Amino acid sequence: MTSDLLIVANRLPVDRVKNDDGSTTWRKSPGGLVTAIEPVMRANDGTWIGWPGGTDQDLEPFEDDGMNLVPLSMTAEEIEGFYEGFSNGCLWPLYHDLVAKPEFHREWWDVYVSVNRRFAEKAASLAAEGATVWVHDYQLQLVPQMLRELRPDLRIGFYLHIPFPPAELFQQLPWRRQILEGLLGADLLGFQLPGGAQNFVRLVRQRVGHKTHKELVYLPDGRTVRAEAFPISIDAKGFETLARSEPVAERAAAIREQLGNPRKVFLGIDRLDYTKGIVARLRAFSELVRDGHLDVEDAVFVQVAVPSREQVEEYRILRDEIDRLVGRINGDLGRIGRPVISYLHSSYPREEMAALYRMADVMVVTPYRDGMNLVAKEYVACRLDDDGALVLSEFAGAAAELRQAWLVNPHDIDGMKTALLQAFEAGDKELTKRMKAMRKTILAHDVAAWAAEFMRMLSDVDNVHDKELNP
């Protein structure tokens, strides 16, 4: 069975859950990507290729809720070299402004190449003549070129969910040329921001020597490659509807009650990742309490850190650092029944996320670098009454759209303290003005629009193909 539309991503859009009787079933992953791509997948009887998680071998393709899913298994060595090693120990920190030090190991690179090849071969075997293939993210940057060599008839799109770094940083990569050429296998390259697309085009001109003009790269074989920004978004209506529902409203009130009904609740929700600036923001908040600007009876900070990449050393170190910091802050500044920081290291269902967004007065999103940051957009979508404040790092992609947030530089602790205090003290009128404008932005450009724009641009590519997909 072949498909006219293939999605190729590191992970399948489902997670395996073990039932009490030992059997297993699949549950759709919470992310917005699935929501966005699902309708296009259904309309075209699409197929999704990805790693199902774990080290189980040879799972058969299966159907889940009308989606064709093709698991690509990985061995423990592949997970270590490809996923934890090259993807998350090298590319992730390099692409995020060297927030941590990237490690360049030749053994990791070799595994990255071989796993990318397996993804490309699987896609080549499942694509119908003239099919469209949409490859996702930094783990699979060699797939476009590998796939084009196997199947020149395909229309290939690629989307990078994280920032594409400036030349000065990218140049450190010993395999920079291979990555650029890997990406150039695509017809259309999507980035979060125009800056990422520009960084890419400039590198291609300087390093590979191809002619370029604005967002276009001209290859010697006559093909053109387009590199453009497509800022990702969320299922805004879906979040709003969820936040409006009775159980979520009740849960939001219950959480505030459990927190002791402080005047204002601050909230942070992030994967536990060193790019997210969790330590700096907790430090800023605790100094406001220490210096008497905030009182623990008045304000509490709820920080949710979702477990992530726990096999990677840097992530374990960060977790310990946060554990120690929260312990010290609460020990030094808390009172009985009144911790300064209410810290949760756990993941939650979507309903609980919506309840947290609904109950929080000040949402604090302070990454050192972030492709977009969907949490910031989800908070805005859940503020039905046009209230609540968003404190947002200027280094998150979302800052380009959410201009009415309190924008901060997370490296500047004093600046963050000022912004946190201003957000805390802002009057209703100001809050409403800012939130109204941000809600308008988010509702006007949701994730369905994002996917549709990318697909439309991809189907406009006139390199070799003529097969049209259903909109």
The answer to whether 304 touches 320, Cβ cutoff 8 Å, is no
Of 161, 205, 319, 338, the one binding ligand GDG by CB under 6 A: 161
> What are the C-alpha distances in Å from 454 to residues 120, 156, 226, 227, 231?
21, 12, 11, 11, 10
Return d(Cα 414, Cα 365) in angstroms, integer.
16
Candidates 109, 87, 83, 107; CA nearest to 96 is 87
By beta-carbon proximity to ligand GDG, the closer residue of 178 and 347 is 347
Give the total of residues touching ligand GDG (CB under 6 A).
20
Q: Which is nearer to ligand GDG, 32 or 165 (CB)?
A: 32
Residue 32 as a binder of ligand GDG (CB under 6 A): the answer is yes
370: contact with ligand GDG by CB under 6 A = yes
Q: Which is nearer to ligand GDG, 409 or 418 (CB)?
A: 409
User: Cβ contacts of residue 289 below 8 Å, gap of 6+?
Assistant: 295, 296, 299, 329, 333, 340
Which 395-424 residues touch ligand GDG, going by CB under 6 A? none
* Strand (E) or helix (H) holding 393: strand 389-393
Give min distance, CB of 232 to ligand GDG, in A. Answer: 4
Name the minimum Å distance from CB 370 to ligand GDG: 4
Q: In the window 200-239, what residues touch ligand GDG (CB under 6 A)?
A: 232
Complex with ligand GDG: residue 347 or 422, whichever CB lies closer: 347
Query: Is residue 51 within 8 Å of residue 72, measured between CB atoms?
Result: yes
Do 203 and 170 touch, CB atoms closer than 8 A? yes
Instruction: Please give the C-alpha separations between residue 336 and each of 20, 262, 264, 326, in angstroms, as whole numbers.
Output: 39, 14, 19, 15
Smallest distance from ligand GDG to CB 280, Å: 17
Task: Indicate the burial class of 232 (C-beta count within 10 angstroms; 0-12, 13-18, 19 or more).
Answer: buried
Question: Does residue 64 contact residue 43 with C-beta atoms inside 8 Å?
Answer: no
Q: Give the nearer residue to ligand GDG in terms of CB position, either 154 or 382.
A: 382
Which residues have CB under 8 Å from 466's CB, separation 6+? 130
Q: Which of residues 38 and 370 has its CB atom nearest to ligand GDG in the complex?
A: 370
What b/e sequence results for 158-186 when a residue is b if at least 16 CB atoms lie within 10 Å of its CB, and e otherwise? Answer: bbbbbbbbeeebbeebebeebbbbbbbbb
User: At 283, phi and psi to the nearest 5?
Assistant: -65, -45
* 63-122 positions binding ligand GDG, by CB under 6 A: none
CA distances in angstroms from 11 to 62, 121, 163, 237, listed in the order given: 15, 17, 19, 25
Q: Shortest approach of ligand GDG to residue 455 CB, angstroms?
A: 16
For residue 110, the minimal CB distance to ligand GDG (Å) is 26
Q: Which of residues 337-366 bind ligand GDG (CB under 6 A)?
A: 347-350, 353
Token pair for residue 159? 């989307």
The distance of closest approach from Cβ of residue 464 to ligand GDG in the complex, given in angstroms and rounded to an integer, is: 29
Contact with ligand GDG (CB under 6 A) among 378, 434, 442, 461: 378
For residue 271, state whether it binds ligand GDG (rule: CB under 6 A): yes
Provide the minimum distance between the beta carbon of 336 and ligand GDG in the complex, in angstroms, as a whole number.
Answer: 29
Convert residues 11-30 into a mask of x (bound to ligand GDG by CB under 6 A) and - (unbound).
-------------------x
Smaller CB distance to ligand GDG: residue 135 or 299? Answer: 135
Residue nearer to ligand GDG on the CB measure, 151 or 358: 358
From candidates 67, 372, 420, 423, binder to ligand GDG by CB under 6 A: 372
CB of 233 to ligand GDG, least distance (A): 9
- C-beta closer to ligand GDG: residue 435 or 447: 447
Binding residues among 298-327 for ligand GDG as defined by CB under 6 A: 306
Cβ contacts of 275 within 8 Å, gap of 6 or more: 92, 96, 99, 367, 368, 369, 370
Q: How is residue 370 annotated by DSSP? A: B
Q: Using the minimum distance from each CB to ligand GDG, give the nearer residue, 287 or 378.
A: 378
Smallest gap from Cβ 158 to ligand GDG, in A, equals 13
Q: Name which position in 143, 374, 389, 461 contacts ligand GDG (CB under 6 A).
A: 374
Shortest distance (Å) from residue 11 CB to ligand GDG: 12
Shortest spacing between CB 343 and ligand GDG, in angstroms: 14
Residue number with CB closer to ligand GDG (350 or 440): 350
Residue 103 backbone class (left: φ over 0; alpha: ψ -120 to 50; beta: rest): beta
Q: What are the angstrom distances between the C-alpha of 313 and each of 60, 87, 104, 137?
A: 33, 14, 15, 22
Q: Which residues bind ligand GDG (CB under 6 A)?
A: 30-32, 161-162, 232, 271, 306, 347-350, 353, 370-375, 378
